[in-house]
Amino acid sequence: MPEAFQHYPDDISLESLLEHARRNERIARNLFEIEREIMGCRDCAAFLDRLVDRVRDRFDLDEVWLVLTDVEANQPLWEMLSEDGALSLRVNAPAADFLRLTGSSQKPILIPDTRSCQHLIPPAWQSSIQSMAILPLVVEERLAGGLVLGTRTAGRYSRDMGAFFLEQLAVKASLGLDSAFAREQLRRLATRDSLTGLRNRREMETVLQKELSRSRRYQMPLSLLFIDCDGFKRINDEHGHECGDAYLCHLGECLRRQLREDDSVFRFAGDEFVVVLPNQSVQAATHIATRLQQGLADEPLEWAGHSIPLAFSVGVAGNEQPGLDDSRALLRHADQRLYEQKRER
């Protein structure tokens, strides 16, 4: 923060003290505005994106980014941010390195020279960031990582400068993130399939309605795939239901990994999945379905010494087809096409 936490000598003049007070007032006002603007965010991705933008802009910083440690407890937060495409500039730091640097402190860490901690800086900025402050982020009463304020000015964040306002910002950021994380976890309980972690049928209906509305507004195609596993009952009978559960989880993860960020995968029911493909024609969606069938055949589930191939039938439907202008019609048509393929296979 350019105006904050500078070191002032003992013989400072009255005018300098007044200017210092005015600067602190501006900083306090900016912190209040940031708090007001970020506290209404419904999810972690929106909260952190807005926090980074507001801190960088209001305090005229060169760069601001997020560091999360690689501990298992942070995995849900990583998944939330990754699924929503948030904060492309974030660093996954080894927990031991991060804790060695911060000493598990929940107070800001001021680093005047970044040469010894390049691993905490996004690669694009490692040659330019000369000094930084790490503001601890506490989630569920544990140190999850830090919000990092970076500057191209060496020595700007000296260890003897005051950090009162940085501590305030760290507390506000932690409280806001903890609250957003709790809200999103509750929301996910209602919208996530408990087995695979994919979004469930209820969430699919909401997303499909939104995508149909967007498709009409921008005159873009929308297609979906209705997927049903081949021989799933046989897998359960031969290898047990635990293997069947692992098969569904593996299939869901492979689907999610091989699709675009804009695409959405849902567990519809049992061994059925739905993939929503925004801005894809039926012809393009058919190619995607074939590619998925071929690609996933090369990623079998390894279970108790057995290699179980991923095999499924798929039906394709798109709103460019006559009469398929609502979610029920799309699903019904894709379901019909699915069972036609099953009969053919």
CA distances from 166 to 66, 94, 98 (A): 15, 24, 19
Provide the pLDDT for residue 4: 43
Helix (H) or strand (E) segment spanning residue 298: none
Mean pLDDT on 162-168: 88
Q: How confident is the model at residue 3 (pLDDT cuts 50, 70, 90)?
A: very low
Q: How confident is the model at residue 84 (pLDDT cuts 50, 70, 90)?
A: low
Provide the pLDDT for residue 7: 47
Provide the pLDDT for residue 33: 86
Assess if residue 1 is contained within a domain: no
Same domain (yes/no): 125, 180: yes
Provide the pLDDT for residue 343: 82
Same domain (yes/no): 31, 179: yes
Distance CA(142)–CA(101), nearest Å, equals 16
Same domain (yes/no): 178, 254: no
pLDDT above 90: percentage of residues in the chain:
57
Classify 143 as helix, strand or coil. Answer: strand
Tell me the range of 157-161, 193-197, 287-291 where mean pLDDT is highest: 287-291
Mean pLDDT on 260-288: 95
**Is it the case that residue 10 has pLDDT exceeding 90?**
no
Same domain (yes/no): 225, 332: yes
Q: How confident is the model at residue 17 (pLDDT cuts 50, 70, 90)?
A: low
Q: Got the DSSP string for 188-229?
A: HHHHB-TTT-SB-HHHHHHHHHHHHHHHHHHT--EEEEEEEE
Provide the pLDDT for residue 27: 79
Assess if residue 5 is contained within a domain: no
Mean pLDDT on 198-221: 93
167's tokens: 């501590």
Assess if residue 8 is contained within a domain: no
Domain with residue 88: its CATH number is 3.30.450.40
Mean pLDDT on 224-251: 96
Q: How confident is the model at residue 6 (pLDDT cuts 50, 70, 90)?
A: very low
Assess if residue 9 is contained within a domain: no
Distance CA(184)–CA(176), nearest Å, equals 12
Higher-pLDDT residue of 5, 29: 29
Mean pLDDT on 172-186: 90
Q: How confident is the model at residue 12 (pLDDT cuts 50, 70, 90)?
A: low
Domain with residue 295: its CATH number is 3.30.70.270
Tell me the range of 41-55, 61-75, 92-106, 124-138 where mean pLDDT is highest: 124-138
- Domain stop point among 124, 159, 190: 190
What are the tens digits of pLDDT across the range 289-315? Answer: 999 999 999 999 999 999 999 999 999
E strands in 200-331: 222-229, 264-269, 272-278, 301-303, 306-308, 312-318
Provide the pLDDT for residue 42: 77
In angstroms, how far is CA 5 from the centroid of its own chain?
33
35-69 core/surface letters (b: 16 or more CB in 10 A; e: else) = beebeebebbbbbbbbbbebbbebbebbbbbbbbb
Same domain (yes/no): 132, 78: yes
Same domain (yes/no): 303, 331: yes
pTM > 0.75: no
Same domain (yes/no): 212, 153: no
Please list, in sequence order, all residues whose beta carbon lies within 8 angstroms of the beta carbon of residue 81, skipping any fewer than 6 positions away: 44, 45, 48, 87, 90
Higher-pLDDT residue of 17, 207: 207
Same domain (yes/no): 167, 28: yes
Provide the pLDDT for residue 5: 44
Same domain (yes/no): 246, 100: no
Same domain (yes/no): 161, 235: no
What's the chain's length in residues?
345
**Domain that includes residue 276, residue range:** 201-344
Classify 2 as helix, strand or coil. Answer: coil
Burial of 12 (0-12, 13-18, 19+ CB in 10 A): exposed
Assess if residue 180 is contained within a domain: yes
What are the tens digits of pLDDT across the range 112-157? Answer: 999 988 989 988 899 999 999 999 999 998 899 999 999 999 988 9
213-238 core/surface letters (b: 16 or more CB in 10 A; e: else) = eebeeeeebbbbbbbbbbebeebbee
**Is it the case that residue 111 has pLDDT exceeding 70?**
yes
**Is it the case that residue 287 has pLDDT exceeding 60?**
yes
Classify 179 as helix, strand or coil. Answer: helix
Domain count, the chain: 2
- Domain stop point among 171, 190, 209: 190
Same domain (yes/no): 178, 70: yes
Distance CA(31)–CA(51), nearest Å, equals 11
Same domain (yes/no): 235, 269: yes
Q: How confident is the model at residue 220 (pLDDT cuts 50, 70, 90)?
A: very high
Assess if residue 167 is contained within a domain: yes
Burial of 264 (0-12, 13-18, 19+ CB in 10 A): buried
- Domain stop point among 132, 159, 190: 190
